[in-house]
Amino acid sequence: MLSPEDNDRLCRTGPGTPMGKLFRLFWLPAMLSSEVREPDSPPRRLRILGEDLVGFRDTDGRVGIIDAYCPHKLAQLYWGRNEECGLRCPYHGWKFDVNGNCIDLPNVENAENTKRKMGITGYPTREAGWIIWVYMGPPDKMPGLPGLEWTTFPESQVSHHRWLQRTNWAQGMEGEIDTSHVSFLHRSNSPEHSLPPEFTYYGPPGPVDGSPSITLKETNYGFVYGSRRRTLNENEFVWRVTQWLVPMFCLIPNRGYPRTGRAWVPVDDYNVMTFGTCFNADRDFTDKERQILDAGSFFPPRLQPGSTRLDDGYIIDTWLPVANADNDFLIDREVQKSGNYTGIFGINEQDRCIQESLKSIPGVRNGGLVDRSRERLVSSDVPVITARKQLLKLLKDMENGIDPPQASRPDLYQVRAMADVSLHAVFDELLNERNDYIMSLAGS
């Protein structure tokens, strides 16, 4: 469990909060490049770390992520005209470039000096791996982009999605690194309700072990852990090797294709944007493979593009899960009897039905910000406990003037997850045998 004070420190990421300051020292996924693929295309409403923002691509192809509001009368720039290298507010014509500089004040006489005083917040952006990244921290501490494997791949080898999850960011991240729930929440009893064959090693085949043996090794980027399950063959074990990378990146085990990972980017204290990536390191995706991914049985869930109103009324543009709390995640009680464990269709939909209904702190809707002071954790929760301890220690270090070293070491993120059947019963032995594959991309 966590004290209410530590729970707040872990979960709240708005401006000025300890965790918000930590997140702002890292480059964060903000949008998919495809959302603003064309110059002068429509802007996108965003909220990141509690800040209302608008993203757009200008006439020259540069991407801006700037304050959502014109400083004149606080009109939303989303309604503006994206033209001639700037976003123009439709109320009085004030215009801002990708850096937030005010470049035109058409309703002000002799406006040259006034323009210089009317700039708004504009954050640095970069594009890598077909993702638009944003840096929201101090300019003098701007690091390199995290060196995740897929960031250098052509678009034909990656599949990106983003969608809103109505929970605090930590709930999504912690669910990702909880391996024991896979044996229950994602269990299926019939082929028609099972994952496609490509994802066999996400849900271990034929395990007889619902209480995996977990060995965790802390690293300079976060940690790697192996969960070992017995199979029907007493001499073989299913190993799932998961990577957790500060502050919220997760690499999820599977056998070769497709390699997957998620980033959990706080929208505000009660919502998180999930960035899901599947990639193939060796070849292009086939059309069939993309169709399987888009069908929603794994990650992403079934999605529809749209806009949605957050708890305080602000609207963002994103993708929204078809199965959600308002329709009980489309649970089918007959399927629950004989098809799968939950009666809910897909892996992420099963995860969200739990995470979006967890008991929250007083005054917050269920799922918004879980009350960790009431938890009773056990040995299978070691990864979650370790992530919390590491993050809280980083906050303490920052208060003592020590920045998180991971932010300035993009190379640390060049690791992989893995799942396989092995004769090794000891994690160190497996790790030594697969070190080049798991812990370093050199030679892979």
| E-strand stretches of 20-88 | 27-32, 44-48, 51-57, 63-67, 81-82, 87-88
Q: 344: which DSSP letter?
A: -
- Single-letter amino acid, residue 404: P
Could you give the angle at the alpha carbon of 331 between the alpha carbons of 329 and 332, nearest 5°?
A: 160
- Which residues 6+ apart lie within 8 Å of 121 measured at CB? 51, 66, 67, 100
For 229-257, how does the pLDDT look when each residue is reduced to its tens digit (9 = 90+)? 888 888 899 899 999 999 999 999 887 67
Is the separation of the CB atoms in 378 and 214 below 8 Å? Answer: no
Distance of alpha carbon 340 from alpha carbon 334, whole angstroms: 9
Least confident of 146-150, 292-296, 391-395: 292-296
Distance of alpha carbon 298 from alpha carbon 292, whole angstroms: 9
Is the separation of the CB atoms in 66 and 37 below 8 Å? Answer: no
Least confident of 178-182, 246-250, 302-306, 329-333: 178-182
- What is the average per-residue pLDDT within 107-126? 96
Confidence of residue 444 (pLDDT cuts 50, 70, 90): very low
Above 50 in pLDDT, residue 86? yes
- What is the average per-residue pLDDT within 208-230? 91
pLDDT at 254: 82
For 335-391, how does the pLDDT look when each residue is reduced to its tens digit (9 = 90+)? 999 999 999 999 999 999 999 999 999 999 999 999 999 999 999 999 999 999 999
pLDDT at 443: 34
Above 80 in pLDDT, residue 438? yes
Least confident of 47-51, 108-112, 313-317: 108-112
Distance of alpha carbon 368 from alpha carbon 169, whole angstroms: 9
Q: What are phi and psi of 283, to 5 degrees?
A: -165, 175
Query: Which value, to the nearest 10 degrees, does the dihedral of the CA atoms of residues 420, 198, 257, 204 take?
Result: -20
For 144-175, how does the pLDDT look when each residue is reduced to its tens digit (9 = 90+)? 999 999 999 999 999 999 999 999 999 999 99
Walk me through the domains of the chain, giving residue ranges and CATH numbers. 27-141 (2.102.10.10), 149-438 (3.90.380.10)
pLDDT at 205: 47
- What is the average per-residue pLDDT within 5-34? 98
- The helix (H) or strand (E) run that includes residue 384 is helix 382-399
Top-ranked range on mean pLDDT: pick from 136-150, 289-303, 430-444: 136-150
Is the separation of the CB atoms in 205 and 420 below 8 Å? Answer: no
Above 60 in pLDDT, residue 441? no
Angle 347-355/169-176 helices, nearest 10 degrees? Answer: 130
Is the separation of the CB atoms in 89 and 75 below 8 Å? Answer: yes
Q: What are phi and psi of 239, to 5 degrees?
A: -110, 130
Could you give the angle at the alpha carbon of 334 between the alpha carbons of 329 and 337, nearest 5°?
A: 105
Above 80 in pLDDT, residue 207? no
* Radius of gyration of the chain measured on its C-alpha atoms: 22
Is the separation of the CB atoms in 238 and 212 below 8 Å? Answer: no
Is the separation of the CB atoms in 311 and 270 below 8 Å? Answer: yes
- The helix (H) or strand (E) run that includes residue 368 is none
Q: Which two tokens stand for residue 110?
A: 């002799």
Is the separation of the CB atoms in 349 and 296 below 8 Å? Answer: yes
DSSP 390-413: HHHHHHHHHHTT---GGGG-GGGG
* Percentage of the chain modeled with pLDDT above 90: 83
- Which residues 6+ apart lie within 8 Å of 56 measured at CB? 36, 41, 42, 43, 44, 63, 64, 82, 87, 98
Is the separation of the CB atoms in 202 and 182 below 8 Å? Answer: yes
- Which residues 6+ apart lie within 8 Å of 153 measured at CB? 129, 279, 281
Distance of alpha carbon 322 from alpha carbon 398, whole angstroms: 40
- Single-letter amino acid, residue 322: V
Above 80 in pLDDT, residue 216? yes
DSSP 148-200: -GGGGS-GGGEEEEEEEESS-HHHHHHHHT--GGGGTTT-BSSGGGSPPGGGT
For 90-103, how does the pLDDT look when each residue is reduced to its tens digit (9 = 90+)? 999 999 999 999 99
pTM of the model: 0.95
Distance of alpha carbon 367 from alpha carbon 152, whole angstroms: 35
For 340-354, how does the pLDDT look when each residue is reduced to its tens digit (9 = 90+)? 999 999 999 999 999
Question: Is the peptide bond preceding residue 300 cis, with omega within 30 degrees of 0?
Answer: yes
Confidence of residue 442 (pLDDT cuts 50, 70, 90): very low
- What is the average per-residue pLDDT within 77-86? 98
